[in-house]
Amino acid sequence: MGKLVGKHFFTFCLCLILFSVMLLIWGCKIDQPEKLEKITLLLDWTPNTNYSGLYAAMDQGFYRDEGLEIEIIQAPGSVVSMVAANQAHFGISYQEEVTYARLSEIPVVSIAAIIQHNTSGFASLKARGIETPADFEGKSYGGWGSPIEEATIKALMDLYNTDYEKVDIITTGEVDSLIVIEHHADFAWIYYGWTGIEAKLKGMEINFIELRHEDQALDYYTPVLITSEKLIAENPMMVKRFMRATTQGYQLAIEKPAEAAQILLQYAPELDEKLVMASQIWLSEKYQADAEKWGLQSLKTWEAYSRWLHEQGLIEKIPDAEKAFTNKFLR
């Protein structure tokens, strides 16, 4: 009987020791969490609803779940140059910029279309009577002084057999587009999802000529997420993890726009709450639109816009579109 009690006591002590060791290991894991891999993403503009999915993914811990710690910052310089030089892992760009970068042998790749269709176009006060590109004749345009602006205006006017030489081009720089059409010029180039919504909230009656409805080739991707060829080659799992988390963020923005708007406002409290909410609701249906999944890009879209740029004399040759983008990291 004494031997039996001693045996049980020994077993009890052994179990107690093992249990204590397990508690110690568990406690160490709590005190020393798994180290997260730090990544940087560069914004090409100030925070707005184009980026809501990124902030949602960060706020909801989707990046952390993938073992990533993300820093989102506004780029101090050229996004494509900094990403290509590995000064940042990811960035925000647009199809035109990526096309020019590829032609200049800057090795960046588009990995997702943030918005499925081009939502930009030309806005004017309704009182100006500009309803089609034919009405540009005899009017003034206020913009940031890029050759792409003049080429786009001319190409659209050519479709209506009107004279581009009768448009007065004014370089206004980065002045607010609504201020431009109120005080400086008859029409300006805007993104409806932000500036168009803002005009509506302010009670401004505007006409809006959407580019993609005038010429299918102008239904290009803007904005897009980019990374470098080097990161894709050396650490494809990082890109995949980043995209898994980002996709979740944009799915939240699609399904719960009010929640996504509130998250964005937490990180950018300087933004107008009514504008953010209205813009987020409007964009929630545009992120994925008619695509099979969020972020999807088509070769047809990349090739069509490159051909258009070439036809307008804006690029000397057509780049290899298959190397400019990839869908392989999408969920």
Question: What homologous superfamily does CATH list for 120-218?
Answer: Periplasmic binding protein-like II (3.40.190.10)
The Cα 53–Cα 246 span in angstroms is: 7
Sequence-ordered alpha helix ranges (H) in the chain: 2-31, 52-59, 62-65, 79-84, 95-103, 147-159, 177-179, 197-201, 211-214, 229-234, 236-255, 257-267, 273-283, 299-311, 321-324
Domain 120-218 in the same topology as domain 37-117+221-324: yes
pTM higher than the cut 0.75: yes
Per-residue pLDDT of the chain in tens (331 residues, 90 and over written 9): 444 344 444 444 444 444 443 444 444 444 444 699 999 999 999 999 999 999 999 999 999 999 999 999 999 989 999 999 999 999 999 999 999 999 999 999 999 999 999 999 999 999 999 999 999 999 999 999 999 999 999 999 999 999 999 999 999 988 899 999 999 999 999 999 999 999 999 999 999 999 999 999 999 999 999 999 999 999 999 999 999 999 999 999 999 999 999 999 999 999 999 999 999 999 999 999 999 999 999 999 999 999 999 999 999 999 999 999 999 999 8
The reported pLDDT for the residue numbered 331 is 80
Contacts of 129 (CB under 8 A, 6+ apart): 135
SS3 at position 136: helix
Which sign, positive or negative, has the C-alpha torsion 294, 297, 300, 306? positive
- The angle subtended at Cα 220 by Cα 228 and Cα 233, nearest 5°, is 15
With respect to CATH, is domain 37-117+221-324 assigned 3.40.190.10? yes
With vertex at residue 303, the alpha carbon angle to CA 300 and CA 306, rounded to the nearest 5 degrees, is 150
Q: Please tell me the predicted confidence (pLDDT) of residue 24.
A: 43
d(CA 127, CA 19): 80
Token output for 96 = 């035109």
Boundaries of every domain in the chain: 37-117+221-324, 120-218
